[in-house]
Amino acid sequence: MEDATAYQVRNPAVWLLVYFVLYLIYLFFHQEGELAHWGTLVLIPLLGLWYARRRSDPEFRAKATLKEVGLFWPLPRQGMAIAVVLVLALQIVQLMNRHQRAALDPILSSSHAVWLVPTAFLLIMVTAAFTEEVFFRGLIQRSVTERTGSNTVGVLVATIAFSLYHVPYAYLNPAWPSAGDLGHAVQLAFANGVPGGVIIGLLFIRSRHNLTAPILVHAAVDWIPATIAIAEAWLPSLQGSG
């Protein structure tokens, strides 16, 4: 019994997945903002991981917890090179979308572009990209991989969890085209979450479990939509111009 308890402490996959299920239920009753994710997706699970490690090793430090989830230096060259290629490819693909391009053109042609575009990237990187990658790749994928001994299972479980996480937003947020239709919300969440989850999950492995490259690629996915959304909120005069 003692050995089994020690194993659970060393490998937190089970309690992290239980935490995720409870958190997912909570999201159907309360739509969190991006700042709140710093508590629910980062601070609470990281503190839980640190406490679990301290139970078996009183000398375990917070810095070691950060390293365990993928927040460490130096950056892996191979993973960063792949990330740069993916970032550029993602921007090209999104710019080929005529609706996004039509919304983006007046922003890029305005004097605000010089600060708005980098600001949008920075904001999305320190909010959704950082918090979601820490939880789904740094915590869930890595712990499941260690528990099962399989990178494939780790990527699969993290990708499913990542997709499920978006279902409450797709169902309850009126900004989503699937709002109010649970079946459509599930389809849309998985259609967006599975490709991204698999690609970023594989990049996490290639980066030797360093989160920097996955965070950059995640931010790149949301960069153009975030730029448009920020312009709509801060600079409504740009809408319909150009």
Per-residue pLDDT of the chain (242 residues; tens, 9 = 90+): 444 444 445 679 999 999 999 999 999 999 899 999 999 999 999 999 998 888 888 888 888 999 999 999 888 788 899 999 999 999 999 989 888 888 899 998 888 889 999 999 999 999 999 999 999 999 999 999 999 999 999 999 999 999 999 999 999 999 899 999 999 999 999 999 999 999 999 999 999 999 999 999 999 999 999 999 999 888 876 654 44
pLDDT attached to residue 2:
43
In three-state form (DSSP H/G/I as H, E/B as E, the rest C), the secondary structure along the chain is CHHHHHHHHHCCHHHHHHHHHHHHHHHCCCCCCHHHHHHHHHHHHHHHHHHHHHHHCCCCCHHHHHHHHCCCCCCCHHHHHHHHHHHHHHHHHHHCCHHHHHHHHHHHCCCCHHHHHHHHHHHHHHHHHHHHHHHHHHHHHHHHHHHHCCHHHHHHHHHHHHHHHHHHHHHHCCCCCCCCCHHHHHHHHHHHHHHHHHHHHHHHHHCCCCCHHHHHHHHHHHHHHHHHHHHHHHCHHHCCCC
> Based on the structure, what is the number of domains in the chain?
1
Residue 6 is predicted with a pLDDT of 45
pLDDT at 135: 98
pLDDT at site 239: 57
Range of the domain at 216: 2-238
pLDDT on residue 238: 65
